[in-house]
Amino acid sequence: MHNPELLSEEKVFKDPVHRYVHVRERLIWDLINASEFQRLRRIKQLGTSYLTFHGGEHSRFNHSLGVYEIMRRILETFEGRIQLSREEKLLCLCAALLHDVGHGPFSHSFEKVFRFHHEDWTRAIITGETEINRILRRMGDGFPQKVAEVIAKTYENKLIVSLISSQIDADRMDYLLRDAYYTGVNYGNFDIERILRLMRPHEDGIVIKFSGMHAVEDYIMSRYQMYWQVYFHPVTRSAEVVLRKVFQRAKDLFQAGYSFRVEPVQLLPFLREEITLADYLALDESVVFYYLHQWKAEQDPILKDLSSRFLDRKLFKYVECTPKDFRLIADLQKLFLEAGIDPSYYLEVDSTSDLPYDFYRPGEDEERIPIMLLMPSGEIVELSRKSEIVESISGKRRFDYKLYFPLEKVLALPEGLRQAICERLGVVKDADGSCQDHPSD
Amino acid sequence: MLMDHAKIIRLIEIAGEVTGRKKLHKMVYIAQKMQIDFAERFQFHMYGPYSEELTLRVDELCNLGLIDEQMETKGAIQLYRYTLNEEGRDFLKFHNVDFGRGEQLIRRLNEENSRFLELVSTVLYFDNLPYAEMTNKVFTLKSKQRYTEEEIERALTFVAELRAMMA
């Protein structure tokens, strides 16, 4: 390992959330300039959310820089309170910067269909034959592995791991503020300055001084609101369903030996499920959009229709429906088949749920590390024992289910079938011929 | 549609009863590593590979009344017991889940206790590492469990047995 070098002058990035992102370490500057990191500029942080919140077009590049900046400030707060070596500090900064480097375009939809996890690619990019790996190795041959372990939560120093992933960590704090800013909603705001100022290292994790409890309450409530108002928005989920069906149709056609009008060369490794690191790194949103445009002109009517729906935002409509309605869903599947609408691509139950905050109950094998408060007496107390607001939502899981379908295809069916399907969907037809289900825009 | 839900229900049906949330997580993870097609994403947590998605799925299935969850207290420990109910059985009639040889594997996993399955899943999580590094991970990340070299050997033998079962 050679001594990590400092830049001759501090570099700064203007950032709408943190005002400035400060870089002084040569290692960090070079990582930012690595091609694998620059690729994140071409991957949206919020996937399909831009179809609901038009401002939500920020990239994973922005977010990764933001997480790095928060980590840098946490380390400043810890100065003089805990002994971390220069190498350990750089480990924290590199892990923060690179935690999402393995994300691909539209991860939620893409990974489900092509059966891989971006976390595995994050590890592969950090430890494999890449520019990022070569830069990290300047710190020693074992350094990339350590960075990968911090991100995968298998690193032995739990304090360092908890700074990247716990119920109050650099990642979450940045994405809540950033996503709120770009989508234009008010919910995600909380006083990050205060939280960072009152954060203290303690044994295997971090604690927040009791005087910062109200700022933490605000953070928990922001998280709750952002999940339900932004991340789980039914229109965003509709776009995800449509995109998932596009990929599924392309995969099914490929496996059936279909001859594409334009061979999807850059997607072939994914369709074959034989993906190399180079294949993965060559994929970004521009590639996906290119093929969506090509597929819009395909012979196959399903692929053509689904691709057009995504590009032109002609999404599926929805009604409330839970997996408990499985008999009704089976009925609908039959009716869709009868109507010539393939339910494998045009009928989907999407479920989502969130747990805003959870605490550790003694004696249970729970996996979530709770947020701990440092009391003036020096005692450490779990957050929900002091905060009534947090207590009221602790451990409370909320679920939401929607059944997605192409309303206009249903309405175009002959009267008998249309009526049978609409009755089951609970869709009401207006006198003017339009159909009112939900105001889903 | 809803096949990911159906697979978890079917696992519980095959096992008859699964005692402990941790045990259920380790069973699904090990089954997944043995190429049984479960969709849940796992990450390393305090007790080894753990899936937030699986926790959600199980809560959801309980909430929907498709599986039963009963809590029992064993000394200072609270354990959750999962069984299938009539509604869940009906649900499976509408979803054809075929694990093939995986059925035998699920039964075999359920015969072991959660402490041992925690070790097996940890060994499998680090199966890309050389033996010495893998054992080092077990001893450092699982120091509270105080696993011995003999237990690790038994875990590796067990993994070989499972692989043979699926071959």
In a domain, A178, yes or no: yes
pLDDT at A366 over 60: no
Residue A311 lies in a domain: no
Q: Average of pLDDT values for A86-111?
A: 96
Band of pLDDT at residue B45, cut at 50, 70 and 90 = confident
Which residue, of A199, A231, A263, is where some domain finishes?
A: A231
Per residue in A22-68, pLDDT tens?
999 999 999 999 999 999 999 999 999 999 999 999 999 999 999 99
Mean pLDDT, range B60-78, rounded to an integer? 87
- ipTM value, please give it: 0.89
**What is the mean pLDDT of the segment spanning B41-53?**
87
Grade residue A72 by pLDDT with cuts at 50, 70 and 90: very high
Radius of gyration of chain A (CA): 24
Residue of A nearest to B21 (CA): A365
Helices A301-311 and A285-295: crossing angle in degrees, nearest 10, is 130
CATH of the domain at A225: 1.10.3210.10
Q: How many CB atoms lie within 10 A of CB A408?
A: 9
| Average pLDDT value for residue range B139-150 | 88
Query: A302-317: per-residue pLDDT in tens?
Result: 999 999 999 999 999 9
pLDDT tops 70 at residue A441: no
- Using a pLDDT cut of 90, give the percent of chain B over it: 78
DSSP states along B76-119: TEEEEEEEE-HHHHHHHHTS----TTHHHHHHHHHTS-HHHHHH
Chosen for mutation from A107, A149, A321, A365 (greatest number of chain B CBs closer than 10 Å) is: A365
Give the pLDDT mean for A131-147: 97
Look at B64 and A348 and tell me if their CB atoms are within 8 Å: no
Residue A148 to residue A143: CA distance in whole angstroms: 9
Q: What is the overall mean pLDDT for chain A?
A: 92
Q: Please indicate whether, in this complex, the C-beta atoms of B56 and A397 are within 8 angstroms of each other.
A: yes
Is the pLDDT at B155 greater than 70, yes or no? yes
Instruction: Pick the closest to residue A350 from A432, A229, A238 (CA basis).
Output: A238
pLDDT band at B73 (very low <50, low <70, confident <90, very high): confident
A242, part of any domain:
no
Nearest to B135 by CA among B162, B156, B161, B113: B156
B139–A contact, CB cutoff 8 A: no
Query: Domain range spanning residue A398?
Result: 316-441
pLDDT (average), residues B36-45: 91
Chain B within 8 Å of A112 (Cβ-Cβ)?
yes
Q: Which pLDDT does position A440 carry in this prediction? A: 40
Does the beta-carbon distance from B2 to A326 stay under 8 Å?
A: yes
Nearest to A367 among B47, B76, B78 (CB): B47
Domain end among A231, A254, A278: A231
Q: What percent of chain A has pLDDT over 90?
A: 82
Number of domains in chain A: 2
Q: Of A231, A250, A276, which residue is a domain's last?
A: A231
Range from A82-96, A139-153, A242-256, B141-155 carrying the lowest mean pLDDT: B141-155
- For the segment B132-141, the average pLDDT, to the nearest whole number, is 92
- Give the residue among B155, B56, B57 at the shortest CA–CA distance from B109: B155
- Do B45 and A349 lie within an 8 Å CB cutoff? no
Position A303 in a domain: no
How many other C-beta atoms can be found within 10 angstroms of the C-beta atom of residue A86?
Answer: 11
In-domain check, residue A286? no
Domain ranges across chain B: 3-166
pLDDT at A363 over 50: no
Residue A272 lies in a domain: no
Clarify whether residues A70 and A202 are in a common domain.
yes
Measure the CA–CA gap between B124 and B156, rounded to whole angstroms.
9
Q: CB B50 to CB A333 under 8 A?
A: no
How would residue A395 be classed by pLDDT, with cut points 50, 70 and 90? confident
Distances (CA, A) of A309 to A143, A239, A312: 46, 9, 5
> With contact defined as beta carbons under 8 Å apart, do A119 and A145 qualify?
no
Per-residue pLDDT, averaged over B24-50, amounts to 92
> A372-374 and A205-209: which strand pairing?
parallel
- Please tell me whether residues A47 and A164 are part of one structural domain: yes
| B144 interfacial to chain A (CB closer than 8 Å) | no
